[in-house]
Structure 1
Amino acid sequence: MYGKAFAPEYQGALTSLSVNSSLTDVLAAGREQLAAAERAGRQGEAARSGLAVAEAHRRLGQVREADRAWKASYRAAREAGDTAAMAWALWSGGTLARQRGAFALAWRLLGLAAELGERGGDVVVRGYSLAGLAETGRIQGDYEAVGRLHEQLLAEARRRGEARHTVWALEGIAQMHRNTGSYDTAYAMFEEAAGIAARADDRRGHAWALRGLADILSVRDADTGRALALLSEAEESCRAMKLAGALAYNHKMRGNVLYRAGRYAQARATYEQSLAEFRAIGEPRGEALSRLGLAKSRARLGHDPAETAAELADLARVLERIGLRHAREMVRRAQEELGLTDATTGRARAVEPTAAAATCGAGGAVAGSAQDGR
């Protein structure tokens, strides 16, 4: 039903690159082809080689370089009059904006990319751009608005037999089910995604699916051993491909699993690790979620309650500024779990957040749905 996974963002002279190619190899090949195209004055080829350079930088967590590269790719595509290549550059820029927590910019760039993809007759970039819009809405917690789009994109991917896109859609829908408590449905979808990814040799998609399975094994079944084993397996792929963002989210999930198991000292160390990784790649949402896990782990280990309350208050403001939609609930759950509420009024003693962001997993662990490292 599904063929081998491929990477449509590797174009022109780079189509021979595999979806599993190490990002350092992609970057080296992309730079070489980009330089050759620029010397020859072939702007269309420069745009397509530059796209691979931009994506390699983005997935390696090199934000400034990625920003320069996608903009250069767009300029070259515009000069060449290549509408589809312009759409791909905008898709890369929109995906980077989401990774950086700039959701309004992500919506704008991805919307333009979808329009140009349709105008340029490139159904793949149009699909990827619509998927990017769906993922942006999902990450912001607007499930009602984007759930139907996820389902539509899944149906289209299945119809065309596109393994990589099918895996992405399954994982996105599974994450929404997980975050709304439908663990069995979520597990089945993550399991299907893992199977399709494995058969299609999509190591990136497989790693994300394993992360989702590990989360549910931990939160639903309290099966810490199996969850950690799956995360270790996924980590191997992240390291082999140099997936900086995916690796950081893998480590954050490991912190979640350890926290749920009551292994607070190990959880603290793991959250510290993921926090440093997110800061290194300029990923504010992952940084905030790692800070939350770290604050809760420290509190369990005897950290001063007033300082914990202040940290939660600051996190509420950060998450609101990022533009996520469930911060009040997340922070409230953390307050209740850590005993930072007044027993008679139910109000927070030191923290009264006013808005918006991610979900809190059962058992007090920080959930997380990002697939930005894709």
Structure 2
Amino acid sequence: MYSKAFAPEYQGVLGSALSVNSSYEEVLAKATEEQRESVLGYARAGLAVAEANRRLGRVADAERAWRDSYRAARRAGDSAAMAWALWSGGTLARQRGRLALARRWLSAAAECAERGSDRIARGYALAGLAETGRIQGDYAAVTELHEQLLAEARAHGEARHTVWALEGIAQMHRNTGSYDTALAMFEEAAEIARRAEDARGHAWALRGIADVLSVRGETERALELLTEAEAVCRGMRLESALAYNHKMRGNVLFRAGRYEEAREVYSGALEEFRAIGEPRGAALSRLGLVKSRARLGRSDAETAAELAELDETLQRIGLRHARAMLRDFRAELGGQAEAA
């Protein structure tokens, strides 16, 4: 049995004043007020400021806030608060495509959480490390950690963390072709998130379900689910999640052969990712855009040149799975050229 989802990153009095679905403008207002109370209060409220700004795509403000939170926590001698600040910094680094730095901050967060005996902070830090490895496509290295964290979250009835772990494992199954398993796990995540009133987790799960249904050819149902998830993202102002939702819509349209629509959606998603300084999402949108333009008649030479440039970008960020998709498309284009 799972309890109602909660946001452990909203600490101290903010924990009772805010919910997992609070708007980020409300989070910023209450956290800014709380920062005036004490050094430790400043650290805890600074974490909320950092996370609200990160999710709104205000990366410079998020960077300043998590560092301020860490310094205040260190002055107060609170290892657990230091851990949460480092977790926020590591999550922001991953969002910005700086994956080596993300691993550094998240590893430090896990160590601080151990010293501070904060089980939840440790879990979130390890989850961040697992997600970083999954994003890179290093599934062999992080599958066991995902499974361990899922078991811990289930044992403690932590809905939000259970949803995260289910979605991460489902994504790996989806990317390796185990569609039935992926779909079942995304659907379980969606149901747990719905019952726990975790709107953000529910929106991400719907995106995953839509992805798998699209692969199976259920285009219209996939688009309906993405529209439902988009409403949540807009309502909560989840800028990054909204951009990824649009990128997935492009994927669905591309698979359905609706290349002009896909091109338009990928173009919009690319601008959204650039606006919030998220290079991973921008690179993935560019890949979709290149593929759409190729299907719409762009020359092989222009397509090959952009794929080569994009491959370097993906390699620099460390996105192995995306590079594999790029290589597959390049081989497909080569085969078509030979057939012609």
Query: Which band: TM-score by shorter chain?
Result: over 0.9
Q: Distance in 1 between matches of 2:321 and 2:231?
A: 32
8 A contact 2:190–2:205 mirrored in 1 = yes
8 A contact 1:335–1:341 mirrored in 2 = no
8 A contact 2:130–2:142 mirrored in 1 = yes
Letter in 1 for 2:9: E
* TM-score between both structures, scaled by the size of structure 1: 0.88
In structure 2, what is the equivalent of residue 364 of structure 1?
none
Q: Structure 1 328/272 Cα, relative in aligned 2: closer, same or farther at 3 Å?
A: closer
In structure 2, what is the equivalent of residue 349 of structure 1?
none
Unmatched runs of 5 consecutive residues or more in structure 1: 345-374
Task: State the 1:162 CA deviation.
Answer: 0.3
Aligned length: 338
In structure 1, what is the equivalent of residue 163 of structure 2?
167
Q: Secondary structure at the match of 1:262?
A: coil
Q: Distance in 1 between matches of 2:124 and 2:195?
A: 21
What is the aligned-residue RMSD (CA, Å)?
1.2
Task: State the 1:28 CA deviation.
Answer: 1.8
Deviation per CA, 1:92-140, whole angstroms, max 9, x where unpaired?
0000001011111111110010011011011010000000000001101
Q: Find out whether 1:13 has 2:8 as its counterpart.
A: no
Q: Secondary structure at the match of 1:53?
A: helix
In structure 1, what is the equivalent of residue 301 of structure 2?
306
In structure 2, what is the equivalent of residue 52 of structure 1?
48
> What is the aligned-residue identity percentage?
72
Q: Find out whether 1:74 has 2:70 as its counterpart.
A: yes
Task: State the 1:24 CA deviation.
Answer: 1.6
8 A contact 2:315–2:323 mirrored in 1 = no
Task: State the 1:339 CA deviation.
Answer: 4.1
In structure 2, what is the equivalent of residue 370 of structure 1?
none
Q: For residues 146-295 of structure 1, what are the structure 2 equivalents within 5 Å?
A: 146-219=142-215, 221-295=216-290
Q: Secondary structure at the match of 2:241?
A: helix
In structure 1, what is the equivalent of residue 61 of structure 2?
65
* TM-score between both structures, scaled by the size of structure 2: 0.97
Task: State the 1:340 CA deviation.
Answer: 6.7
Report which of the two has the higher share of helix.
2
Task: State the 1:74 CA deviation.
Answer: 0.3
Q: Distance in 2 between matches of 1:204 and 1:74?
A: 26
Q: Distance in 1 between matches of 2:323 and 2:63?
A: 32
8 A contact 1:296–1:338 mirrored in 2 = no
In structure 2, what is the equivalent of residue 115 of structure 1?
111
Q: Secondary structure at the match of 2:177?
A: coil
8 A contact 1:285–1:322 mirrored in 2 = yes
8 A contact 2:10–2:45 mirrored in 1 = yes
In structure 1, what is the equivalent of residue 31 of structure 2?
30
Letter in 1 for 2:288: G
Which of 301, 314, 319 pairs up with 2:314? Answer: 319
Q: Distance in 2 between matches of 1:5 and 1:79?
A: 31
Letter in 1 for 2:91: T
Letter in 2 for 1:22: S
Q: Secondary structure at the match of 1:295?
A: helix
Q: Find out whether 1:140 has 2:136 as its counterpart.
A: yes
